[in-house]
Amino acid sequence: MSSVLRVALGRTVRALRSAAGYSQEGFADAIGVHRTYMGTLERGDGNPTLETLELIAAGLRIPVSELVRAAETGRLPDLAPDTKRSGPRGRPRLGRVAERSDPDRKS
């Protein structure tokens, strides 16, 4: 992945995460990645795996293809209404997106 696309993807993820009402830490926890790794990705410093892209897209409830297309075009997709946070405590409706089946993998 080129550095231009990594930066665009990071900005796209940050914009969509924010639009969904999640803090960086809250979203990272919801999708099962470490909060500092989310920061690395959002700055465009990390090169996410397909698995990570799947987790992010699932957390935003959009297809991976839409996530990548948004990064390439700069046009953000509409988020599903149930993706956005709600409630008096601002708790996300989204629970943990996926459980890792690989016990040797660290978050």
Task: Write out the H or E segment, with its range, that includes residue 8.
Answer: helix 3-19
Contact (Cβ atoms closer than 8 angstroms) between residue 7 and residue 44: yes
Q: How many CB atoms lie within 10 A of CB 44?
A: 19
Domains in the chain, start-ordered, CATH in brackets? 3-72 (1.10.260.40)
Q: Apex CA 76: angle with CA 97 and CA 49, to 5°?
A: 45
| Whole-number Å distance between alpha carbons of 11 and 7 | 6
pLDDT at residue 99 in the model: 40
Model confidence at 83, in pLDDT bands (50, 70, 90)?
low
Contact (Cβ atoms closer than 8 angstroms) between residue 56 and residue 38: no
Question: In this predicted model, what pLDDT tens digit does every residue of 21-52 receive, in sequence order?
Answer: 999 999 999 999 999 999 999 999 999 999 99
Residue 70 has pLDDT above 70, yes or no: yes
> Exposed, middle or buried, 19 (CB in 10 Å: 0-12/13-18/19+)?
middle
Which is more confident, 4 or 101? 4
